[in-house]
């Protein structure tokens, strides 16, 4: 009888060590073991892609900026910068469903396109969790926020690189040309996308009014978006493969479909409009910033 009682006490102590709670009170923090409550305790979970570790990749995780685990066991995600904060009342779009297995600490997500993936969940602190997928050997870190205090603007301006990729093409709709000799004057279309672990751009001199399918892409290269001292302005640098040249512009976001490029050397100003919005990008993924310097030396800061 004493041995049975001892085993029960040890089992109770073991179960009490689970700490899925999000409360500030330490006793409550250590006593709750409900994974569902943890996932639903925050409106938005920011997927911190730069803290992801492991060689693998889970497609719907690496392209999501935020994920939300709804009470009806649906998963919503902000996969796009266009419409951020408005789409789905700030939650984004539905990408699938989820199940939880509290005893094993397993979160099972069924993505509408990618299928089912299981994650081992570990709570790192009050508002951070790690999701480890054993099949792909990759771990993602998620940071919890309430929608009322989530900074959508900061998220947008930290990810302008991916905003540029959300249209099939950017077509020139306005130009204020001070220096006609600048080669970029002739370019009427731009497109941005990911190829492996590289951010790629292409440019075209085709007529600006051509249908998207008729655009001929004349030049290609890599690109990066750099921070400036102004939150709402970035620098866009285009590196051309053809002659190893580069062009640098002050990049301003006019609205969700319009960008402005200002060459500070020539003082030429160009305005481009996005065409062919891509809401859900099956092949897209975010690139960890710490990979850039390893995969392409052109991404070193200027």
Q: Determine the Cα–Cα distance for residues 209 and 196; give it in Å rounded to an integer.
A: 31
Structure tokens at 92: 């984004």
Q: Determine the Cα–Cα distance for residues 58 and 53; give it in Å rounded to an integer.
A: 12
Among candidates 192, 203, 196, which has minimal Cα distance to 162? 192
- pLDDT tens-digit map of 250-271: 999 999 999 999 999 999 999 9
Alpha carbon 81 to chain centroid, angstroms: 8
Q: Determine the Cα–Cα distance for residues 128 and 141; give it in Å rounded to an integer.
A: 7
The answer, yes or no, to whether residue 196 has pLDDT greater than 90, is no
Among candidates 43, 87, 54, 80, which has minimal Cα distance to 65? 80
- pLDDT tens-digit map of 43-75: 999 999 999 999 999 999 998 999 999 999 999
The answer, yes or no, to whether residue 37 has pLDDT greater than 90, is yes
Beta bridge partners of 71: none
How high is the pLDDT of residue 139? Answer: 97
What CATH fold (topology level) applies to the domain 35-151? Lipocalin (2.40.128)
Q: Which bin fits 14, alpha (ψ -120 to 50), beta or left (φ > 0)?
A: alpha
- Domain boundaries defined on the chain: 1-33, 35-151, 159-299
Q: What is the CATH number of domain 159-299?
A: 2.40.128
Confidence of residue 279 (pLDDT cuts 50, 70, 90): confident
Q: Determine the Cα–Cα distance for residues 155 and 162; give it in Å rounded to an integer.
A: 11
The answer, yes or no, to whether residue 131 has pLDDT greater than 90, is yes
- pLDDT tens-digit map of 211-242: 999 999 999 999 999 999 887 789 999 999 98
Confidence of residue 2 (pLDDT cuts 50, 70, 90): very low
Among candidates 157, 58, 43, which has minimal Cα distance to 90? 43
How high is the pLDDT of residue 301? Answer: 26
Residue 100: in which H helix or E strand, if any?
strand 93-101
The answer, yes or no, to whether residue 163 has pLDDT greater than 70, is yes
Same fold, 35-151 and 159-299: yes
- Radius of gyration of the chain from its Cα atoms, rounded to whole angstroms: 23
């Amino acid at each position: 009888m004493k041995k049975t009682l001892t085993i029960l006490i040890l089992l109770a102590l073991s179960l009490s060590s689970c700490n899925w709670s999000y409360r500030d009170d330490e006793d409550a923090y250590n006593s709750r073991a409900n994974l569902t409550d943890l996932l639903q305790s925050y409106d938005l979970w920011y997927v911190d892609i730069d803290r992801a570790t492991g060689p693998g990749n889970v497609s719907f995780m690496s392209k999501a900026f935020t994920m939300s685990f709804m009470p009806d066991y649906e998963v919503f995600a902000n996969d796009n910068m266009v419409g951020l904060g408005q789409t789905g009342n700030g939650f984004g779009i539905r990408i699938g469903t989820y199940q939880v297995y509290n005893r094993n600490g397993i979160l099972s997500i069924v993505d509408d396109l990618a299928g089912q993936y299981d994650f081992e969940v570990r709570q790192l602190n009050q508002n951070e969790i790690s999701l480890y997928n054993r099949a792909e050997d990759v771990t993602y870190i998620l940071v919890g926020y309430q929608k009322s205090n989530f900074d959508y603007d900061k998220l947008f301006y930290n990810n302008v690189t991916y905003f540029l990729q959300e249209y099939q093409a950017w077509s020139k709709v306005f130009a204020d040309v001070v220096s006609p000799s600048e080669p970029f004057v002739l370019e009427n279309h731009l497109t941005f996308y990911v190829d492996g672990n590289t951010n790629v751009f292409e440019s075209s001199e085709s007529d600006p009014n051509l249908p998207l399918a008729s655009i001929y892409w004349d030049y290609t290269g890599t690109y990066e978006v750099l921070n400036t001292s102004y939150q709402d302005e970035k620098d866009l640098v285009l590196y051309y493969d053809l002659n190893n040249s580069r062009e640098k512009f002050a990049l301003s976001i006019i609205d969700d479909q319009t960008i402005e490029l200002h060459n500070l050397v020539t003082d030429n100003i160009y305005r481009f409009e996005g065409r062919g919005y891509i809401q859900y990008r099956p092949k897209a993924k975010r690139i960890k910033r710490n990979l850039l310097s390893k995969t392409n030396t052109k991404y070193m800061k200027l």
